Amino acid sequence: MSTGYRSITYKTVDVICQHSRDGSIIPIRVRTVDEDGEMQSYTIKGYKDLSHQGTRTMPDGMYVTDKTLVYECNIAVFGRSRMIRLYYEPSGTVWKMTCAPESGPRGRG
């Protein structure tokens, strides 16, 4: 059955966070399995908390509610800055990650 929406590509990931006494959650590191089955860890260099802004569809197609924690993060991958989004639904206890498409030539032929 076609819904007319594009397919959303995300990975489930491990996230290390700091839980502050004011109740805020700060993502520090993300860990995922790469294409070769190897675990890779990335330090989050900067983030923007996009949580609690109502029910909506994010630019990458993920549907979120007001309870979904959403973070737009910058990580370094092979020396290049990449923007990712982290999603956490408290009722599901799973972190999901989407990646912004890379810009410019990929160098693969």
Buried b vs exposed e over 21-47: b needs ≥16 C-beta within 10 Å? eeeeeebeebebeeeeeeeeebebeeb
Look up residue 46 and give its two tokens: 């900067």
Q: Give the contacts of 46 (CB within 8 A, at least 6 positions apart).
A: 73, 74
Look up residue 31 and give its two tokens: 């860990």
- How do residues 74-99 score in pLDDT, each as one tens digit? 999 889 999 999 999 988 889 999 98
- With cut-offs at 50, 70 and 90, classify the pLDDT of residue 53: very high
- How do residues 8-41 score in pLDDT, each as one tens digit? 789 999 999 999 999 999 999 999 998 899 999 9
